[in-house]
A and B are shown apart, each in its own frame.
Chain A
């Protein structure tokens, strides 16, 4: 509350300045209202223990104040006011400071930002990549997912929200090199309490040289390290990662083409721990891409090799904490068994998401992505990938397909290596554009599949795991801004894997057999009224079902009525 008062004081004083000296001040905001009713049904038993119906909801407003006291300085603070339904006279209201930053330009040369900042570099050094199984969502599943992602500062921009300082500058050079751009950042990942934990810092930067407007040479450096003398703990960690990226772009007669490679290495050490290993490894990535201007066909071909001991916290930290328990219906059935997270929880439960960089390799669930659980920088992978995309000029049809064929770089527990195959495809057809209809009618589909295979002894060595996502959706604007939404989403995970168990140093010490025969289906329909592109309201019903005969937990159905209103200005 003190923060709120302080913020208000700053705001009022700034308003006064605005009045006196003509300085700029403006507001930005995000608001949403949500009413949700859940209906839960345990299959195969007369469940008299689990609450069958639950209701909740909230109204939430993020109020952002921007102050520009001078031409080259901007201050921003955002307060979140949230009221969970059920409170009375404000008893359910919370006030939080959601974000605060100051940014500006020093001497017209150096741009800086202080406070909250979003940053990214290359996919191997600092990138917040999306989870495989959450790709291919349509409007109805995307809206609650967007709410979650907005709350935890994750987006398709693939940046990590950090707190600290960043700065960048650039120079024009007359001979040989066109320009030199420099940027750097230093953020605090964890705070010391002057006891056991260290102040943990994540810092780094980038240097880019551009020559002949076609050649780009970029050096990335990032290091997650414990700050010396900030703790009594005997062991401190240091994990520097560096890479060099070379890119060449050409505009040809019919094509825009580019080629690039990124090479790098990492090293992670635990100072003060005589038992700790020193893990050092590297990666290589070569990529070729082109766009045929006339046909608008895009092609990208790549090859990568990532060492088993490559550790890059900025690139390998996962968005989802797969070890966490979902908030809704944590236990169910007459025996009140623990309910594991499902794909539906990932669409609505922000507590399952990770907001901070982690050392080592986080826990993952093979059901929801086994080929590249740590994104592009997943260690111990090598192979090729291919991407193909096309859309017509009028955007009547959009098609895209990406695939990868990868293997282990080092066998896990055996000389035999696992073979990974991934396919992600999506298609959108806007029939109203195709046939010239006045009312919009959009059909879309996504099909994602990944497989993991390994031969060998059938008892303990062979692996055969398939994960598949199918999403089919439709959106029909049947009256003015009112649309009818429908979506069917089916997720299957079938097979077995030997899941690696890692120690505190992220090294494999054991394997546990993982088996799944899970099916998850989400079927929904509803209405959407779009006031404009930034403001809309939805009313829909979704029916989610989950079953996995190998899991031991009973199957369940989960219905949800939801009304939401979203405004982003």
Chain B
């Protein structure tokens, strides 16, 4: 019998550890069914933050199990809101790092920000505060933030309809800063209510080329047109037509007969402030609202933008219409993160 036992022992040694070492299979039962408990309370990594100086803050907390949570940061002065959500055992730098961005307009200013952590499973609510010393700076070619008087070179027109508004305003909260541009009214004989044209020539030399085109990269894949648009409650007949005229032959002017115009229509916007980012490649040539053939070289060339146009339209039979416009900015290599 001895040889058989010796052989068996040898086989056993051979067989050991053939299967991979065990770990836990599947989600933890404790996470699914265990009672929730807070192990470490909500804390902010720094009591103040200089966002303009590139500083960041994060929030930390730890639970005994994986739980759904929501962290909401609210600016006490602006009312700006930033939300983080997750389903983890802890809040840390990986899931709550804040660079000053916002989820709900307006954008944050230099103000006190209250952080509220909410765990629905346990109805747990925790608070902390952080002082924003300077707001987050935004990069890009800013066409309009409406904080100062309109540049002299802008072209503006408004129909003489009823209840017309067509000016910068601070009557209501803006998306960024204090002012926005209010466009509204009833025009029952024409689709056009008003328009606002922003020619490159109206901007300082630092923003344009000698040919009066915007100083942007030529690759359309890199360029985004961003803006904030507010739609009042109950308004759903708005059509905001955005057109970009390219000076294909770089002669300092735009001729619609032989140069490209790209456009997009914004309709049925959700009520409130909306952050809109349009990849330049999403712009198309529109003829009476329908896609058409470009009149010029057919190439999207952001470095040849001669003029950006905002035309506010509505069906003449649809009655009153209104939108606010704020913070029009071209960004490169990604959309604007407010």
Contact surface of A with B, Cβ cutoff 8 Å? 246, 248, 250, 252, 255, 257-261, 263-265, 280-286, 288, 290, 303, 305-310, 380, 382, 408-415, 417, 457, 459-461, 498, 500, 507-511
Contact = CB atoms under 8 A, between A and B. Distances in A.
B18 A305 contact: yes
A280 B18 CA distance: 12
B1 interface: yes
A413 B22 contact: no
Nearest to A252: B1
Interface of B: 1, 3-5, 7-8, 11-12, 14-20, 22-30, 32-34
A305 B11 CA distance: 13
Contact of A413 (B4, B17, B26): B26
Given A460-B30, A508-B26, A510-B26, A259 B19 contact: no
B22 A410 contact: yes
A382 B17 CA distance: 11
Contacts of B15: 261, 263, 284-286, 303, 305
A132 B23 CA distance: 28
Given A282-B20, A305-B19, A460 B34 contact: yes
Given A409-B22, A417-B22, 17 more contacts: A248-B4, A255-B1, A261-B12, A261-B14, A281-B20, A286-B11, A290-B4, A308-B20, A413-B29, A414-B24, A414-B30, A457-B34, A461-B30, A498-B29, A507-B26, A508-B27, A510-B27
B12 to A, nearest CB: 5
B7 to A, nearest CB: 5
Contacts of A252: 1, 4
Nearest to A306: B19
**Secondary structure type dominating chain A contacts:** strand
What are the nearest 4 A-B pairs in CB distance? A508-B26, A460-B33, A284-B15, A307-B19
A394 B100 CA distance: 90
17 contacts: A246-B11, A248-B7, A252-B1, A257-B1, A265-B18, A284-B18, A305-B16, A308-B22, A380-B25, A410-B23, A411-B22, A412-B24, A412-B25, A414-B28, A500-B26, A508-B25, A510-B26
A460 B24 CA distance: 16
A250 B26 CA distance: 45
A176 to B, nearest CB: 19
A307 B20 contact: yes
A261 B15 CA distance: 7
A459 B14 CA distance: 41
A457 B20 contact: no
A401 B4 CA distance: 23
A309 B20 contact: yes
A250 B2 CA distance: 11
Given A263-B18, A308-B22, A460-B34, A413 B12 contact: no
A509 B18 contact: no
Contact of B25 (A250, A282, A308, A382): A308
B24 A415 contact: yes
Contact of B19 (A257, A409, A498, A507): A409
